[in-house]
Structure 1
Amino acid sequence: MRVPLSWLREYVDLPAGETGRDVAARLVRAGLEVETVEQLGGDLKGPLVVGQVLSIEELSGFKKPIRHCFVNVGDANGTGEPQEIVCGATNFAVGDKVVVVLPGAVLPGPFPIAARQTYGHTSAGMICSARELGMGDDHNGIIVLPPEFEPGTDAIELLQLVDEVLDIAVTPDRGYCLSMRGVAREAAAAYGLPLADPALLDVPPANSYGYLVKVADPAGCDRFVARTVTGIDPGAKSPIWLQRRLQKAGIRPISLTVDITNYVMLEVGQPLHAYDRGRVDGPIQVRRAEAGEKITTLDGVERKLSAEDLLICDNSGPIGLAGVMGGSTTEILDPVVDPETGLTTGSTEVIIEAAHFDPISIARTAKRHKLPSEASKRFERGVDPEAARAAAQRAVDLLVLIAGGTAEAGVTDIAAPHPVRTIAIAADLPDRVAGTEYGRETVTRRLQEVGCTVAGSDVLEVTPPSWRPDLTDPYDLAEEVIRLEGYDNVPARMPTVPPGRGLTETQRFHRRVGVALAGAGYVEINAYPFLGDAAFDALGLDQDDERRRTVKLVNPLNDEEPALRTTLLPGLLGALRRNVGRGNTDLALFETGTVFLPKAELKVAPRLSVERRPSEEELAELNAALPDQPRRVAVALAGERLPSGWWGKGSGAIWADAIEAARTVAAAAGVELTVRQAQHAPWHPGRCAELVAGDVVVGYAGELHPRVIKAMHLPERTCAMEIDLDLVFEDGRRVHGPTVSAYPVATQDVALIVDSSVPSAAVEDALREGAGELLESIRLFDVFTGEQAGEGKKSLAYSLRFRATDRTLTADEATAAREAAVALATDRTGATLRG
């Protein structure tokens, strides 16, 4: 919301010396987000005056139109003689009043003006366009002023070129600040000054003479005010003050009737719409769209309507998308001048609509049709339903005043009953929330400044104003008191930490995982937890893959990513791709975070009160409605794992590195992983490992499938791992340090011949179990296939290390343990000793 300071002063008598930055500081202290304070005309210097064109000579022989003009600028040039000016614009004629800048002046930029020779003539100044004066981006032609201004009049004051504009980022809960009325109320409270409320107007009561309106959906439209003005001069133009206020607020002037509706919307906060009465067929109706209906909106686009769209209709069908944009069939006609008669034709009878619509319905319609508008932006944040009558009256008054119209006596006001909302709040609640003492009088005064009606003593009965639908419970009221008293006055106190509490075992485990991976050379990233079907398609997941079953968001940040992630890989691989695109080719990334797995039975979460702690039953009901959220860790590698240098050639990341990352995670949990070959998207079917802890599959690791790498634009041989930390931790729980023996180790090697289909992990498990407690470690150091191993066979060579904690092992003990290990491997896997 752009707020001109000169306009704000009309409703709040701010101190004369207050600058825009001073006002911005007060508003920020009251909780508004003032992003910038724009200085309009800060580098502008006169003389800049009104001039009357006396003569125009069209110069020929140039590539573009050039006009040599004499302009009467009164006594502004010190001589009273006509000013000689060369100009390239063609939209003005002899007798027109224009804006002239004289030599010695400085235009915004800064752009100093001096007399100069050009096109064979002297140009002592310039006839100005809107863009040259900083009034907007319109550079199509010269500003032509109304005829009533005398030559030599100061144009800087006339056009209000010097001002300060506050640009306020209005949060969704403060929709009333999308108006001068709302911001002025905040400024009045911040300065402790009275407010001149622009909505306090004398409005005639509703009667039976108003334009006929039928509301078929009172839930979608709970108030509809209609007023009619006739006898409007179609040639009447918006006065300069009206145009300038719209321009400073960021709205382009269009025509008088449209400008007035926009002006009142900015002033009061109530969006209005004007219909050409002569083009409305019968009574106005408010209803939902029917199947197959279409409407062409004011932007010229034909839109296919949904049954959820709320419409404004007449006998011919839809004439407007309620609260979003009007239809083209009833729009106000632009004035047209007949060149023969000189008469101006256009809309002379206007129906003004001021209605209140359901915020959710308007927000969904605007989003569905991708049609955000100034009106929808206000309706979806909450508009004061009691402001409709005043806004309609204000628009009628301006049309009568400026366009010479006549207000018809009929007043239409259809209003659904609104229950009075009363909130009981303890007078000392703001004190307890902020940890300071305000007192009942301060609490009462601040709530009244907000617009509330307050009664009571120790317990206050507060009725929020109609423009604050966000005030629903005592803590909302406490926040209003605290923000108006100033967040900077809230004392800063460190909370007292109860003794005997520290990190849980699970939290310590998560930290160990992060430290371990960081120590192994991985860099942690945090990706957004949102994804869509495109991510699953890129990973090559089957349509029936369980990971495609997601939790959908009701109001996603991005329509293309409406779901919560069921795997960490899309975000992690996306970060890897972006880094590679920026020249970082050797990467080892990891992320820990939750995934969201929908439950078989969907439940609706209860709405909990903020006045007390939820009961155990309410917490259980809330948890039952939440998706399962297991915590996982994933890594992604690309490029060189060991860098090249003067010492020699490095080595690239391979599938084994991803498996080693999984072992690093398992080691942090004190768990031994079993690695088995598997096929699982998105990994390469021949380079995919299944990670098992105990009897549970906890994750997968390996090299990504070439099709996935191509679809996601990743480097060749990109590897990844994803493992479920909750499953790993369930198996481990506590980490115990290894027992260190001071006695020597006994090493025994064994080579076994097995079928090619037998996993090496199965052989290793059998050797480990058969060797017993004396086995310290086991390592597969060679895999051989060939004629010597036999057709369909492979040779697996293991190094077994034996050690006791209380003595030196004898050769017989080590041999016996080795033979026991081989015997169990032979029994389980059919292995035979290689000679």
Structure 2
Amino acid sequence: MKFSENWLRQHVPTAATREELAATLTAIGLEVEDVTVLGESLGGVVVGRIVSVEKHPEADRLQVCQVDVGNGDLVQIVCGAPNARAGLRAPLATVGAVLPGGLAIKAAKLRGVESAGMLCSAKELGIDADASGLLELPDDAPAGAKLAEYLALPDATIEIKLTPNRADCFSVRGIAFDVAAATGSAVAPLPIEPVAPQSDATLDIELNAGADAPRYCGRVIENVDATVTTPAWIAERLRRSGVRPVSLLVDITQFVMLELGQPMHAFDRDTLRGPVGVRRARAGEQVKLLDCRNATLDGEFLVITDADHVVALAGVMGGFDTRVADATRSVFLESAHFAPAAIIGRGRKLGLHTDAAHRFERGVDPELPRTAIEYATRLIVDAAGGVPGPVVEAALLEHLPAAQPITLRRTRLARVLGLEIADVEVERILRALGLTVEATADGWQVIPPSRRFDLAIEEDLIEEIARIHGYDAIPTTLPAGAARLVAPSESRVDDATARRQLVTRDYLETINYAFVDAGLLEQWQAMDGAVPLANPLSTELGVMRTMLLPGLVSALVRNTARQQARVRLFELGNVFRSQTSGTVDASSPAPRETRRIAAVATGNVAAEQWGTASRPVGFHDIKGDLESLAALSGATLAFRAAQPSWAHPGRAADVVRVDGDAEVLLGWVGQLHPRLQQALGLDHEVVAFELDLEPLVRREIPRARAVSKFPSVRRDLAFVVPQDTPWSAIADAVKQAAGPSLRDLVLFDRYQGKGVETGFKSLAMGLILQDETRTLTDRDVDAAVAETIAALQREHGAVIRS
């Protein structure tokens, strides 16, 4: 929400400085994001009226203007603005003035022609970013008047960040109540007297949307001059609130919305036949909107109709065919109350984000529509004339939200806040916020105003008192009582230890959104079981992630795009999969949530250095990182050749945890597929792994065991096996064949070349044998070795290498 400081001060007179006001807003929960000072140092700038314009004799793009400054004399100004013309009133910086930014105005000669000042754009004056031409002032701006006084400068644009529950602060008047309560001021009255009808012109209104649209007000104003320029004071307040003035009728509806918080719309009455209605859209209905797009609707949309023909999207945007323009002579003003549930997400479904929808989605005061109609009528009639008809209102009173009384207990307030606040202060705060307060024996009976949708229970009132009284006034008190210490479980490796292990392996942790772009998951062929969001923040965050790697690799891509050649990242996070097939709706079971750990790496194995030659990271490097992680829990891993859709053929494996005869599939390790890397814009190979975390970090509780006092025996064997035989299969066969006396198995050599037939490889291994109850004899060792040789010959065609 962006607004003018002067506009706010008109509603709540306060002696607080600009800095104090900004600090107060932030302290009460209306966080100030930006304060932009406007129109300082304009002491030498006046309103000038261009009397005549002649072409510069020596420059095609310059003009020589004679400007009236109100003292009877004309000032000659050389100007290059494209909109300089006779009759225009614009700001004139006189000789000696110093503009914002330090530009000093001096008498000058431009291409041989004298110039005694400068006609200014809004940007040169520091009041707007528009530098396309001179700032055009209304025709009634008095020549010679000080510009700062005429435009109520200096001023400041204040931008605040609102939480979704504070819909009442999407208006200057709403913010004023909070400021008044925090500064001990009072909100100035805003008298809005009803405008008496001067004709019988009306349009019938029909409500056919039930609780979605329980109130709708309309008014016809005839004989309006829509070509009138928007009054400067209205245009400036809009501009300083981030709204570009468009035309009188549109500007007034925007002005009322910003001041009171009630969105409005103006229809060209001559384009309507009536009656005007509100209903749900029918599937396939279309409407051309103000931004010229054609929207195809379904039954979720709420629409405004004229003789049952759709002319606008209720609470979102008006229609193109019924818009007001300079030719408009009769206006139908609309002001309505729409239920938030009927508007939420409708604009985003069409890729629209409007100020009206933003407010209606969060809740607008249901008592405002008639007040807003009367206020807008007065502004239109005063500026453009017109003959107003009576206000026509249709209401479904049973569907209008009604404020319910809330009981606030004195003891509960003290217990929650931890301090006693005087009754008089409690009542002052609540009344300053616009609440009706009645004292009772135990506390107060409070009725919130209709604009405060966020006040429903006792704790809401306590929160209001806390933020206005000041969080810094609440004492810091440590809780009493003994804290129960819980020892960490020894049956799993905690997340912090897993993180530290990967950090020591030179990885950096990332945190990515749990929501991702559906297109990204489709690139990874990982949309199976994806859970779409009913109301996503954006299309790029439309589904819940089924894997960590797509987001993790996207982070890697962003880093490599910024000249980071060596990137190593990891993440611990949850992934989500639907427990049912088909469309997910509110009645579907909750998605299955799984905690995972993933890592990616690209570039060289080690950072640049002189001690070792550089080498790109490969499969076995990241496999080693994964095995170091598994070593924390003592997990025994096995790797099985696999071919996921996103993996490089022949350079990927499923990761399995082996516990005796039981095996648990943990995940995947390997190199990304070249096609996927190309689609993601990666020029270098990327290796990665992703595993289910819980089965990986599960470990047996350590138990003390005596070290065998009997010696171990080692036998080294070398076998020639087919080249495609994985070591993991050889190791499994050896462990099964050697029996319980095998304590360790070490692969210490792999050889291909002279002496080994093409298509085969030589594997040299050491078998370490030991018994806990006796010394192994040569017969025991020879039997284990013989069983091993026989098993490898039988299962893998291995041959002892001579």
* Structure 1 residue 210, shift from structure 2 partner: 4.5
Corresponding residue number in structure 1 for 2:30 = 32
Q: 1:313 to 1:645 in 2, by over 3 A?
A: closer
Corresponding residue number in structure 1 for 2:392 = 411
Q: 1:794 to 1:106 in 2, by over 3 A?
A: closer
Q: 1:387 to 1:505 in 2, by over 3 A?
A: farther
Q: Distance in 1 between the 2:110 and 2:754 partners?
A: 97
Corresponding residue number in structure 1 for 2:486 = 501
Q: Does 1:266 align with 2:258?
A: yes
Q: Distance in 2 between the 1:798 and 1:98 partners?
A: 92
User: Paired residue for 1:656, among 612, 620, 630?
Assistant: 620
CA RMSD of the aligned region, Å? 3.4
Q: Does 1:363 align with 2:344?
A: yes
Q: Distance in 1 between the 2:549 and 2:132 partners?
A: 53
Q: Distance in 2 between the 1:648 and 1:759 partners?
A: 29
Q: Distance in 1 between the 2:506 and 2:391 partners?
A: 78
Amino acid at match of 1:392: I
* Structure 1 residue 354, shift from structure 2 partner: 0.7
Q: Does 1:589 align with 2:569?
A: yes
Corresponding residue number in structure 1 for 2:686 = 718
Q: Distance in 2 between the 1:557 and 1:568 partners?
A: 20
User: Which string of whole-angstrom CA distances, capped at 9 and with x for unpartnered residues, describes residues 111-166 of structure 1?
Assistant: 21111112433211233344433343444554555555554332220122312332
SS at match of 1:380: helix
User: Paired residue for 2:545, among 565, 570, 578?
Assistant: 565
SS at match of 1:266: helix
Corresponding residue number in structure 1 for 2:467 = 483
Moved more, 789-798 or 712-721: 789-798
Q: Does 1:114 align with 2:98?
A: no
User: What does residue range 33-432 of structure 1 map to in structure 2 within 5 Å?
Assistant: 33-46=31-44, 48-69=45-66, 71-74=68-71, 81-89=73-81, 91=83, 97-143=89-135, 145-146=137-138, 148=140, 150-198=142-190, 201=193, 210-315=202-307, 317-334=309-326, 346-417=327-398, 418-422=400-404, 423-432=406-415
User: What does residue range 665-680 of structure 1 map to in structure 2 within 5 Å?
Assistant: 665-680=629-644
Q: Distance in 2 between the 1:94 and 1:760 partners?
A: 91
Moved more, 692-701 or 442-451: 442-451
Task: Tell whether the 8 Å contact from 2:200 to 2:389 is kept in structure 1 after alignment.
Answer: no
The count of residues paired between Structure 1 and Structure 2 equals: 792
User: Paired residue for 2:785, among 811, 818, 821?
Assistant: 818
Q: 1:281 to 1:65 in 2, by over 3 A?
A: farther
* Structure 1 residue 718, shift from structure 2 partner: 2.3
Q: Distance in 1 between the 2:144 and 2:760 partners?
A: 106
User: Which string of whole-angstrom CA distances, capped at 9 and with x for unpartnered residues, describes residues 586-632 of structure 1?
Assistant: 333322222223223899889xxxxxxxxxxxxxxxxx954332222
* Structure 1 residue 668, shift from structure 2 partner: 1.0
User: Which string of whole-angstrom CA distances, capped at 9 and with x for unpartnered residues, describes residues 410-431 of structure 1?
Assistant: 5334343225343445443343
Task: Tell whether the 8 Å contact from 2:403 to 2:450 is kept in structure 1 after alignment.
Answer: no
Task: Tell whether the 8 Å contact from 1:662 to 1:723 is kept in structure 2 after alignment.
Answer: no
Amino acid at match of 2:621: D
* Structure 1 residue 22, shift from structure 2 partner: 1.4
Q: Does 1:576 align with 2:553?
A: no
Task: Tell whether the 8 Å contact from 1:295 to 1:302 is kept in structure 2 after alignment.
Answer: yes
Q: Distance in 1 between the 2:351 and 2:196 partners?
A: 38
Percent identity of the aligned residues?
36
Moved more, 449-458 or 806-815: 806-815
User: Paired residue for 2:417, among 418, 431, 434?
Assistant: 434
Moved more, 164-173 or 390-399: 164-173
User: Which string of whole-angstrom CA distances, capped at 9 and with x for unpartnered residues, describes residues 721-754 of structure 1?
Assistant: 2222222344x34356897668765321123456
User: Which string of whole-angstrom CA distances, capped at 9 and with x for unpartnered residues, describes residues 154-190 of structure 1?
Assistant: 2220122312332222222212111111111111111
* Structure 1 residue 390, shift from structure 2 partner: 0.8
Task: Tell whether the 8 Å contact from 1:229 to 1:407 is kept in structure 2 after alignment.
Answer: yes
Task: Tell whether the 8 Å contact from 2:493 to 2:632 is kept in structure 1 after alignment.
Answer: no
Q: Distance in 1 between the 2:539 and 2:138 partners?
A: 49
User: Paired residue for 2:20, among 19, 22, 29?
Assistant: 22
Moved more, 505-514 or 676-685: 505-514
Q: 1:63 to 1:215 in 2, by over 3 A?
A: same
Amino acid at match of 1:211: L
Q: Does 1:707 align with 2:707?
A: no
Q: Does 1:468 align with 2:452?
A: yes
Q: 1:300 to 1:736 in 2, by over 3 A?
A: same
Task: Tell whether the 8 Å contact from 2:122 to 2:134 is kept in structure 1 after alignment.
Answer: yes
Uncovered stretches (5+) of structure 2, i.e. residues with no partner? none
* Structure 1 residue 331, shift from structure 2 partner: 2.0
Q: 1:691 to 1:276 in 2, by over 3 A?
A: closer
User: Paired residue for 1:775, among 733, 742, 751?
Assistant: 742
Q: Distance in 1 between the 2:243 and 2:657 partners?
A: 65
* Structure 1 residue 642, shift from structure 2 partner: 4.4
Amino acid at match of 2:653: A
SS at match of 2:576: coil
* Structure 1 residue 318, shift from structure 2 partner: 2.3
* Structure 1 residue 202, shift from structure 2 partner: 5.1
SS at match of 2:165: helix
* Structure 1 residue 393, shift from structure 2 partner: 0.7
Corresponding residue number in structure 2 for 1:340 = none
Task: Tell whether the 8 Å contact from 2:632 to 2:697 is kept in structure 1 after alignment.
Answer: no
TM-score (norm 1): 0.86
TM-score (norm 2): 0.89
Corresponding residue number in structure 2 for 1:343 = none
Q: Does 1:765 align with 2:732?
A: yes
Task: Tell whether the 8 Å contact from 2:63 to 2:80 is kept in structure 1 after alignment.
Answer: yes
Task: Tell whether the 8 Å contact from 1:286 to 1:313 is kept in structure 2 after alignment.
Answer: yes
Task: Tell whether the 8 Å contact from 1:590 to 1:633 is kept in structure 2 after alignment.
Answer: yes
SS at match of 1:236: coil
Q: Distance in 2 between the 1:468 and 1:515 partners?
A: 48
Q: 1:154 to 1:687 in 2, by over 3 A?
A: closer
* Structure 1 residue 815, shift from structure 2 partner: 3.9
Amino acid at match of 1:62: A
* Structure 1 residue 225, shift from structure 2 partner: 0.9
* Structure 1 residue 582, shift from structure 2 partner: 2.5
* Structure 1 residue 804, shift from structure 2 partner: 5.4
SS at match of 2:731: helix
User: Which string of whole-angstrom CA distances, capped at 9 and with x for unpartnered residues, describes residues 11-55 of structure 1?
Assistant: 22212xx32111111222211111222221223232x23344455
Q: Distance in 1 between the 2:137 and 2:724 partners?
A: 92
Corresponding residue number in structure 1 for 2:648 = 684
SS at match of 1:287: strand
SS at match of 2:598: strand
Q: 1:831 to 1:121 in 2, by over 3 A?
A: closer
User: Paired residue for 1:802, among 765, 769, 786?
Assistant: 769
Uncovered stretches (5+) of structure 1, i.e. residues with no partner? 75-79, 335-345, 607-623
Q: 1:604 to 1:119 in 2, by over 3 A?
A: closer
Q: Distance in 2 between the 1:739 and 1:530 partners?
A: 51
SS at match of 1:10: helix
Q: Distance in 1 between the 2:227 and 2:610 partners?
A: 84
Corresponding residue number in structure 2 for 1:615 = none
Corresponding residue number in structure 2 for 1:617 = none
Corresponding residue number in structure 1 for 2:3 = 3
